[in-house]
Structure formats: structure tokens, C-alpha cells
Chains A and B, each alone.
Chain A
Amino acid sequence: MARTLRLLRYGALGLGAVAALLPFYYMLIGALQKKRDTSLGGLLPDPSNLTLANLSGIDDSFSLTTALLNSLIMTAGVVACTLVFGLLAGYALAILHFRGRGLVFALVLLVQAVPFQLLMIPLYVMVVRYFHLADSYAGMILPFAINSVAVLIFRQYFLQIPREIFDAARMDGASELRILRSVAVPLVRPAILTAMLVTFIGPWNEFLWPFLITKNPDMQPLAVSLANFSQSNSTFQANPMGAVLAGACVLAVPAVVLFLLFQRHFTSSNLGSAIKG
């Protein structure tokens, strides 16, 4: 009885893993195929039908390096803003006493409940028409520049640090800015890694917002370029499916590798609504 149960359990777990990973295997094998082979035999690697040409084939439609660079700039901008503003706000909420602190903390919680589909159109109108930020990195970064989850991560971390440390520095006559720079920031380093991992994936994978505000192909991040590429019927490609899947691999690999490297940091308490796309 216990044996059957264990067999059943591992059977279910194995089946789940196959279902989760099979599309990724197909992504890889499809990206390497010289000629599209949709038959079941095509699922197995056939040495005579393998090539890396699909990757360069993308460049006929859009510049892979430009798109990657745009993705990188957008992601780096979002992560940098999230870390700086998240750390400042988290520190203030945990350590400092000031008027309106309760209100700010309530905002942090409330903001997470506002659904993006409600903001999509008005935000688009504001950013494109009033701020004139269409086709710009600033426009891409703006809606993600502050992440409430990052604020909460930093706040939680600062709450665990004995408050006497900050009071002592203050008694020694250190200015508030000095305390922040020389005491708070060095102490909170481990939280910076967590916040970085949690915020990296969102902007890297984000499609809808950059798709809305970038019409210039030279400004589009990879997710948008790739989506446009797979929508256009690129029949002039030797293997259009291979080219799209090769692009998908390029988009997928950084996030997956980062996740596998820092797996233990991806815990349920850290994630929440931080990951979109």
C-alpha cells in the first residue's frame, strides 16, 4: 500500500515535471532545426537537421543586439530605481518617525491592489500625450520605477536590525544623511540581492507596456520585437518557426539561468505580485 502510494506520488511529480519542461525542450530543439519538422520524430535531435543559423536569421527582420540592449537598459533602469527608492522608503518606514508615515505605509499596501488594466489607457494617454515619453526609455521604465514589494522587503529587513544602532549614531552627532549612507546601506546589503532578483524578471519579461508605448523598432525591447516578429508572416525565412524559437530562447535564457543560480532566494514570501509578464 505504502509502496503503491509512493509510486503514484513520484509518477505524478514526474508527469508534472515533464509537462513543465517539455515546451522548453521543444523551444530548444525547434530553435536548432534547419528545416521545420513538426512530426513526432522531429522531437528527437537529428544531427543532419541541426543548425545555429536561425539565430542569425532573426537579424534579417530586426536587430537582435539592439533589442537585447533595449531590454537590458529598461531592466537595469527599473532595477536601479526600484533599489534606490525602495531602500530609501523602506528605511524611512522602518526606522524614522515622521508625519504621514502611516499614510505612506497604507499606500504601499493599497497600490498593490490596483489592477493594471484600469490604468492602461489613462496611463498611456498621460505618458504619450502629456509627458511626451513615447519611444523613450524613461517612458518604458516609469510605471515600474517603484515596486511596492521591494519597499516591503527593505522595510522588513530594517525592522530586524536593532534600532539602537541608529540611535547611537544619532547621539554621536551623525547627520541623518550620514546615518543612511554609513550605517543603513552597509547593513542592508543582503536585502539588496533579494530585491534585485525579485525585480529583474518583471521588466525583462514585460510585454504589454513597452508594446503600447514603443512604435520605433530601434527602441523596442526583445519581448516586443519578438512578438512583432512572430506575428508578421516572415515567409522569407528558411525556417520561420526556428527563427522565432531561437529568439524565444534568447529571451528565456537570462531569466531561467538567473533563477536556477539563485533558486533559494525565490521564496513565496519574496515574490508575490513582483513578477509579471
Chain B
Amino acid sequence: MTAPHPHRQETRAAGGSPSGPQLQGSSRPVPHASARAGRQPRPRRAHRVERWLGRHPFGLALTAPYTIFVLVVFAIPFGFGVWMAFHDYFFTAPGVSVPHPFVGFDNFTAVLGDGDTQRAFRNLGVFMAINIPLTVVLALSLAAALNAATRWSVFFRASYYVPYVTASVATLAVWLFLFSGSGAVNHALGAWAPDPSWLANKHLVMPLIALYVTWKQLGFYILLYLAALQNVPRELHEAALTDGAGRWQAFRAVTLPAVRPVTSLVILLSLITSGQIFTEPFLLTGGGPNGASLTPALLIYQRGLEQGEPDAAAAIGLILVTAVLILATISRRVMERN
């Protein structure tokens, strides 16, 4: 931190108490001006401004860009999206105004009855069933190993993190060539290479995408676990060992409960990422073969922008977000019950 400000002493001497108890993170505005006692009385208008806008109305000006941004980029599109999902909305030539009648849940029933939507959500289920357990197990084991390791730990941590900071477009290009029909992976597997090959195989393409996303995100989750593991007192672990517990038992009885909040967070974040899977199927397969790697986010793009049905796309978006929210709630309940 920088050197203390020279005026600090002066403030104390002048008896100006540092404006009451400051609750960190408190959102409570402090409307009264008791800290100003002893200063010359101010005109009535200034008091009124203060009553209405708070002690520092300047803060309103400073946060105005942020508030406007949230309105324009989040609140209005959010409302617009919900509105779209319940209306017959389609693109028109610029300047043409046509009525967009309210259609209730028609968009939703149409979308839910559609084979593509069902396939996309089934694929997402397969993705989650592989990605989430794999992420939790790998991230926790590598973080635990890293926490116990004394040598090379900076190197290991950095290398796990490199995929996370690299653009998906760049890493997907590599995976595309590695797993292509005549790619290095199939060369390595020789006679065991799958037929049809990875990206053309409807049973393997979604697991492969799940594996890719696990690989890409793992470094971040390892970092989360590592921070939690460093806070587990070593004595607890040692006490369990002296009491005759095996290493595995000690891990289960001490470490696992200690990192439970992080596990809950990792599952939550993985769920949210899962809902956004777009770039991977888009670049690797375009959703194929025959819809086997179609995801809801990719479907939103296809329906909304390629096929010009933004209302259907908005409905899929709402269904997707609701589904992710429900799963997130369930996972939190389960994680916090024990």
C-alpha cells in the first residue's frame, strides 16, 4: 500500500470522526449528515438534494454508465427475449412495421414437439453426465496431488491453466486434426480406431466434446480446489492418520467435507458452462452427424439466425435457462443436505 496520506492526521485533530461504522459491502445508504456537525450551515436546497440523492450525488453520475449499460445490454434484451418468446416475431425489411400478435405458449409447444429440440436437450444431458463428474474427480485429484507436491508445482499449475486461457477457436483446430479420420489419435490407436471415426460417430461425438470441454476448463477448477485445500489444516489430516485411519479414509473424512463448498461451486459453474456449449459443436461438426452433436445453444443460433425464427429461438433460450436453473437448484439442495 502507498504511504499514509499527510492529511490523515489533520482529520483526526479536527475531531471529524471517520463517518460512523462502515459496514463493508453494506448497501445501506447513509442519509444523514451527522459527520458534518461543526461545519457552517448550508443552504436549504443543498439539504434537500442531500436528502433525495444521498450525501454524494456525484456517485450517481459515476455509476450512471454502468446502470445504463446494464439496462441496454442485459435488462432490455432480457425483456425483449421473453416478449419474443410469447409473440409471433419474425424479421422484416428495415423500416417495415408489421403486427407481432401475442401467441401465448405456441412457440414453446411448437419447439418442444420438434425432434431437433429434443435431440439437442438429450445431447446436453449426455454432455453433462460425462463432463461434470469427470471435471469434479479430475480437478479434485490433481489439486490434491498438487497441494501435496513440493517440487515443480508452479510448472504443473501453469500447464493445467494454459488450455483455459487459450481461445477455443485455436484449441478446437488442434482437436479437429487430432481426432479426424486420418488424425494422430487414430494412427496411435491403429486397429482400435473407432469406425466411423470420432467426429462422424454419433455415439462418440458428444462424449468427445465433453472431454474437450473438461480438458479446456480443468485448470480453472483445479485453481478453485487448490485454494480450498490450502485452507484445510494439516493437523486434522494428521490426527485422522494417527487415529488409525487409512489415507483414503482420512481423505474421505477430512478433505472431502472441507472442500464441499467448492465442489458445489464447481458443479454450478459446470452446469452454467454446459448450457452455453456452442463453439465446440459448431466448429467440430456443425451439429452432426445427423444432429448427434446438436446443443441447445447451437440450435438457438440455427433457428434464430439461419432459419429466421427468432421467436422459436427465444423460446428455446427460456427453456434452456429454466432447465439449467432447476438443475442448479437440485444440485445445491443435494450438496447442502449432508
By a beta-carbon cutoff of 8 Å, the part of chain A in contact with chain B is 5, 9-10, 12-13, 16-17, 19-21, 23-24, 26-27, 30, 38-40, 42-43, 85, 88-89, 91-93, 96-108, 111, 114-126, 129, 142-143, 145-146, 151, 159-165, 167-169, 171-172, 176-177, 180, 183, 186-187, 201, 204-205, 207-208, 212, 223, 226-227, 230-231, 241, 244-245, 247-249, 251-252, 255-256, 258-260, 263, 266-269, 271, 275, 277
B162 adjacent to A24 (CB under 8 Å): yes
Q: Given the complex of chains A and B, what is the CA–CA distance between A171 and B6 in angstroms?
A: 13
B86 within 8 A of A: no
Besides A16-B160, A163-B22, 13 new A-B residue pairs in contact (Cβ under 8 A), listed by A number: A24-B162, A24-B163, A26-B184, A39-B187, A96-B54, A121-B314, A121-B317, A162-B18, A165-B8, A177-B58, A230-B173, A255-B165, A266-B165
Tell whether A12 pairs with B55 under 8 Å between CB atoms, given A24-B162, A124-B305, A187-B2.
Answer: no
Task: Kindly identify which residue among A107, A180, A259 contacts B70, using a CB–CB cutoff of 8 Å.
Answer: A107
Task: Kindly identify which residue among B14, B84, B160 contacts A122, using a CB–CB cutoff of 8 Å.
Answer: B84
Task: Kindly identify which residue among B29, B91, B142, B219 contacts A12, using a CB–CB cutoff of 8 Å.
Answer: B142
A97 adjacent to B55 (CB under 8 Å): yes
Give residues 140-165 of B contacting A (CB, 8 Å): 141-142, 145-146, 148-149, 152, 154-156, 158-165
A120 adjacent to B8 (CB under 8 Å): no
Interface size on B, residues (CB 8 A): 114
A43 adjacent to B184 (CB under 8 Å): yes
Task: Kindly identify which residue among B1, B19, B63, B304 contacts A88, using a CB–CB cutoff of 8 Å.
Answer: B63
30 residue pairs from A and B, CB less than 8 Å apart: A10-B145, A16-B142, A23-B178, A26-B184, A27-B171, A38-B183, A88-B63, A96-B59, A98-B56, A98-B57, A101-B27, A117-B276, A117-B320, A118-B318, A118-B321, A119-B77, A121-B84, A124-B304, A125-B310, A145-B73, A159-B24, A162-B8, A163-B18, A205-B166, A226-B169, A251-B167, A259-B161, A275-B165, A277-B167, A277-B279
Q: Given the complex of chains A and B, what is the CA–CA distance between A108 and B65 in angstroms?
A: 13
Tell whether A96 pairs with B56 under 8 Å between CB atoms, given A19-B215, A40-B188, A88-B62.
Answer: yes
The interface centre, meaning the residue of B80, B165, B187 with most chain A CB atoms within 10 A of its CB, is: B165
Task: Kindly identify which residue among A123, A159, A277 contacts B73, using a CB–CB cutoff of 8 Å.
Answer: A123
| Residues on A with beta carbons closer than 8 Å to the beta carbon of B58 | 92, 96, 98, 176-177
B112 within 8 A of A: no
Closest to A132 in B: B94
Q: Given the complex of chains A and B, what is the CA–CA distance between A89 and B272 in angstroms?
A: 27
Q: How many A-B residue pairs have CB under 8 A?
A: 341
B182 within 8 A of A: yes
Q: Given the complex of chains A and B, what is the CA–CA distance between A269 and B265 in angstroms?
A: 13
| Residues on B with beta carbons closer than 8 Å to the beta carbon of A176 | 56, 58
B174 adjacent to A245 (CB under 8 Å): yes
B60 within 8 A of A: yes
Q: Given the complex of chains A and B, what is the CA–CA distance between A201 and B219 in angstroms?
A: 15
Q: Given the complex of chains A and B, what is the CA–CA distance between A167 and B9 in angstroms?
A: 12
A230 adjacent to B167 (CB under 8 Å): no
Query: How distant is B13 from chain A, measured CB to nearest CB, in Å?
Result: 11
B29 adjacent to A99 (CB under 8 Å): yes
Task: Kindly identify which residue among B18, B70, B138 contacts A111, using a CB–CB cutoff of 8 Å.
Answer: B70
Closest to A174 in B: B7
Query: How distant is B18 from chain A, measured CB to nearest CB, in Å?
Result: 5
B193 within 8 A of A: no
Query: How distant is B327 from chain A, measured CB to nearest CB, in Å?
Result: 13
Tell whether A88 pairs with B167 under 8 Å between CB atoms, given A106-B27, A126-B77, A176-B58.
Answer: no
B204 within 8 A of A: no
Closest to B39 in A: A171
Chain A interface mostly: helix
B59 adjacent to A92 (CB under 8 Å): yes
Query: How distant is A206 from chain B, measured CB to nearest CB, in Å?
Result: 8
B160 adjacent to A89 (CB under 8 Å): no
B296 adjacent to A13 (CB under 8 Å): no
| Residues on B with beta carbons closer than 8 Å to the beta carbon of A124 | 304-305
Q: Given the complex of chains A and B, what is the CA–CA distance between A8 and B94 in angstroms?
A: 65
Task: Kindly identify which residue among B8, B152, B168 contacts A164, using a CB–CB cutoff of 8 Å.
Answer: B8
Give residues 31-69 of B contacting A (CB, 8 Å): 31, 52-60, 62-63, 65-67, 69
B162 adjacent to A20 (CB under 8 Å): yes
Task: Kindly identify which residue among A108, A114, A121 contacts B310, using a CB–CB cutoff of 8 Å.
Answer: A121
| Residues on B with beta carbons closer than 8 Å to the beta carbon of A43 | 184
B29 adjacent to A111 (CB under 8 Å): no
Query: How distant is A122 from chain B, measured CB to nearest CB, in Å?
Result: 4
Q: Given the complex of chains A and B, what is the CA–CA distance between A40 and B186 in angstroms?
A: 10
Tell whether A102 pairs with B162 under 8 Å between CB atoms, given A115-B272, A159-B24, A268-B227.
Answer: no
The interface centre, meaning the residue of B16, B77, B159, B219 with most chain A CB atoms within 10 A of its CB, is: B77
Query: How distant is A148 from chain B, measured CB to nearest CB, in Å?
Result: 9
Closest to B65 in A: A85
Q: Given the complex of chains A and B, what is the CA–CA distance between A118 and B322 in angstroms?
A: 10
B278 within 8 A of A: yes
Q: Given the complex of chains A and B, what is the CA–CA distance between A249 and B174 in angstroms?
A: 10
B130 within 8 A of A: no
Q: Given the complex of chains A and B, what is the CA–CA distance between A248 and B142 in angstroms?
A: 28
Q: Given the complex of chains A and B, what is the CA–CA distance between A16 and B158 in angstroms?
A: 11
| Residues on A with beta carbons closer than 8 Å to the beta carbon of B65 | 85, 88-89, 146
| Residues on A with beta carbons closer than 8 Å to the beta carbon of B73 | 119, 123, 142-143, 145-146
Closest to A159 in B: B24
B165 adjacent to A98 (CB under 8 Å): no
